[in-house]
Structures are given as structure tokens and as C-alpha cells.
Chains A and B, each alone.
Chain A
Amino acid sequence: MSRQSNRTTDSKKMNSELFTLTYGALVTQLCKDYENDEEVNKQLDKINKNISKWPQTFERGYNIGVRLIEDFLARSSIGRCQDFRETADVIAKVAFKMYLGITPSVTNWSPAGDEFSLILESNPLVDFVELPDNHSTLIYSNLLCGVLRGALEMVQMAVDVKFVQDTLRGDNVTEIRMKFIKRIEENVPAGDE
């Protein structure tokens, strides 16, 4: 039966399609709520939970990342990474593969070894998406930056994550630049919680 064969080949794709479509609905909703794309970008991102004035775009990704890291550690039982290079490899080869089904490549290491790029040939978040002209500055996948930042902060690493290239805006590949800022101290002052 044709329906049967559709099921087996599409079963893995379907979950990612649900996620892709839902993410699209979220971005559309944010575009409706906020006037300009910069606000929406910030919403998708949210850099630091202490800076409460930041618009919430990033916060969404950040909140997801903070929870996702636990799920990731539970599923992958990877131990503590020794250095930033190992972290980069784990993110690219294990985490991205596990959640999005793609393996980005890690390149463009800075001389000091504290910055690298993740190159994604294909970005599942933008599977059915085109950016209309009036939204050309929108960083559609900014949620990813928030997720990465939130997740790494939970394992005591403060990083800066941003999109350098984006296929939606005409580049050939999607490139995310990650920069290690500092190691966060284990003991958070009581007032922060």
C-alpha cells in the first residue's frame, strides 16, 4: 500500500518537519508582535538572563538550551570536556546530530583557540522557508544561538554565539561563530537565583 511505504521512509523526517513548522509559526508570531527585525532577533536570542531589558527572542532559545543540556547529558553520557576544542567536537558531532540530524563541520579556529566556526551545509530549521524582502535582516535561526549559549552556560562556560553567514540571506552555507568568553565559577552567589 502506498501509504505504508510513505510511513517508513518519512517517519524520521516527520518529527523534524513538525519542529521546523512550529519554529516557523513562532517566528511569524514574533514578527507580528514586534515592529522591526532587530527586536525579533534579540527576542530569539537573549544574551544574558541578568539583563532583563533585552527583548525576548534570544531568551526563548536560551531557556530551551538551559533545559536541553540536561536531556543531552542524560542521553549521551559524555563526560566533562577537557578543553574548548573537545567541546566544539562534541557540539558538532554528537549534539547537532542527535537533535537536528546534521553534522556541521568545525573550522576557522582562531590562533588563541578560543573561537571557532560551525559550518552547516543544510539547516533543518529553514526547510520550507524563504525570507520576504521586508525582513531581510531577520536572523531566522537565532534561536539556535540562544540554545547553544544557554546550554553551555549550564556547564560553566560563557560563550558568545552569533550567525556569520546564513543561507536564507543568500550565502552558500550557514556559519555560526562561537567564542569562548570565560569559565563561570561553580558557586553562584545566592542573590542570583
Chain B
Amino acid sequence: MADEALFEFLHMEIVSHIYKEQQSGKAEMDNKDRAVCVSVLEGMGFRVGQGLIERLTRDSPSFKDELDIMKFICKDFWTKVFRRQVDNLRTNHQGTYVLQDNKFAMLTQLSSGKQYLDQAPKYLAFSCGVVRGALSNLGMESVVTAEVSVMPSCKFQVVIQKL
């Protein structure tokens, strides 16, 4: 089934819609508007991530520890959502993890280099939310950010919030 294309189109439309909504009536977007757009997209991704992780882990046994959860995110969850596994997982063993995906699904259609680099964050916000939502329903509050230097490779930084 060609759902990948359908989801990618829907995602593009959602990003475009949120940005257009924010801009309506104003000549230009300032940084505050951009921040609002990003947090709206991230919030949508959060809800989706929560739902997805519930479906995915319904029948699987509980996880041993934080690292086990992160490995699950990198392998099974990433495969289900982004159709490939994370290429590289690094951690400082103190709650910070960096997930590197060299061919991130949301960026492959944008460019394969430095072109449109400034547009990339718009298309990553939703995915950051998905990861944060998934972790949240697995019992881990986190802050997820993404950075891109060369498309379509992308690094997600997950910082687990300890209470």
C-alpha cells in the first residue's frame, strides 16, 4: 500500500496550514509566530505519538530500563513510523540520548544537501512531538529537539526529565 506518500502529503499540508493560519493578516512572521507554529505542530505530534505507542506495545512485555526503552524507540518504533531504523544511538548514560537518522523520512523529499536547510525545522516539529508522545506514554517525560546540518540526515536529542 502506498500509504507513505499519503502520510507525507498530509504532513506537508498540515505544516503549510499551520503556518498560513499563523500568518493570516500579518505581512511577515516574526520569531514568536514561528515558535507558536512549531509548538502547535509538536503538540499534534505528541497526541499521535501517544496513540501509536499504545497500539504498538499493547502485547509486548514491559521494558527493563531506560536504555531498553530507547532501543525500542530506535528500532521497532522508528521502523513502524519512519520505515527505517535509527542509524546511531549515543548516550551519556545520564538521561541524554542522541538518535541519528541518516535518511530521515520527512526530509528525503526536501533536498539532499544544504538547500532548504532553514525550512527543515518546520518538518521536524511534528516528528519530535511523536517521539515525545511515545516516551510520555511509556512513563518518561522528555524534551525532544532535532537538528539538521546536511539533509536528509538528522539528529534527535532526547533529554529525559527526572523528577
- Contact between A21 and B6 (Cβ–Cβ < 8 Å)? no
Residues of A within 8 A of B80 (CB): 10-11, 14-15, 18
Known contacts: A2-B59, A15-B1, A68-B6. The answer to whether A25 contacts B47 by CB under 8 A is yes
- Contact between A22 and B11 (Cβ–Cβ < 8 Å)? yes
- Contact between A23 and B51 (Cβ–Cβ < 8 Å)? no
Residues of A within 8 A of B48 (CB): 18, 21-22, 24-25
- Contact between B2 and A18 (Cβ–Cβ < 8 Å)? no
Q: Residue A98 contacts which of B2, B10, B83 (CB distance < 8 angstroms)?
A: B2
Stretch from B16-24, B117-125, B148-156 forming part of the interface with A = B16-24
A2 to B56, CA, bound (A): 12
- Contact between B44 and A26 (Cβ–Cβ < 8 Å)? yes
Does A63 interact with chain B (Cβ within 8 Å)?
Answer: yes
Instruction: Considering the complex, give the chain A residue whose CB is closest to the CB of B79.
Output: A7
Produce 1/0 per residue, A65-109, CB < 8 A to B: 001100100010000000000000000000001111100000000
Majority DSSP secondary structure for residues of B touching A: helix
Residues of A within 8 A of B45 (CB): 25
Least Cβ distance of B144 to chain A in Å?
Answer: 17
Residues of A within 8 A of B6 (CB): 19, 68, 99-100
A25 to B60, CA, bound (A): 26
Residues of B within 8 A of A98 (CB): 1-2
A window 6-36: CB within 8 A of B: 6-7, 10-12, 14-19, 21-26, 28-29, 33
B window 18-67: CB within 8 A of A: 18, 20-21, 40, 44-45, 47-48, 51-52, 55-56, 59-61
Q: Residue B44 contacts which of A19, A29, A75 (CB distance < 8 angstroms)?
A: A29
A3 to B80, CA, bound (A): 13
Q: Residue A18 contacts which of B9, B12, B21, B52 (CB distance < 8 angstroms)?
A: B52
Produce 1/0 per residue, A146-182, CB < 8 A to B: 0000000000000000000000000000000000000
Least Cβ distance of B148 to chain A in Å?
Answer: 21
Residues of B within 8 A of A12 (CB): 1
Known contacts: A33-B21, A60-B13. The answer to whether A22 contacts B7 by CB under 8 A is yes
Residues of B within 8 A of A15 (CB): 1, 3-4, 7, 80, 83
A64 to B11, CA, bound (A): 10
Instruction: Considering the complex, give the chain B residue whose CB is closest to the CB of A61.
Output: B13
Residues of B within 8 A of A28 (CB): 44, 47
Q: List 13 A-B contacts (CB under 8 A).
A: A2-B60, A6-B59, A11-B80, A14-B56, A15-B1, A17-B52, A19-B3, A22-B7, A28-B44, A29-B44, A60-B17, A64-B10, A68-B9
12 additional A-B residue pairs with CB within 8 Å, beyond A29-B40, A29-B44, A99-B3: A6-B56, A14-B52, A14-B55, A17-B55, A18-B3, A22-B14, A22-B44, A25-B47, A28-B47, A60-B14, A60-B17, A99-B2
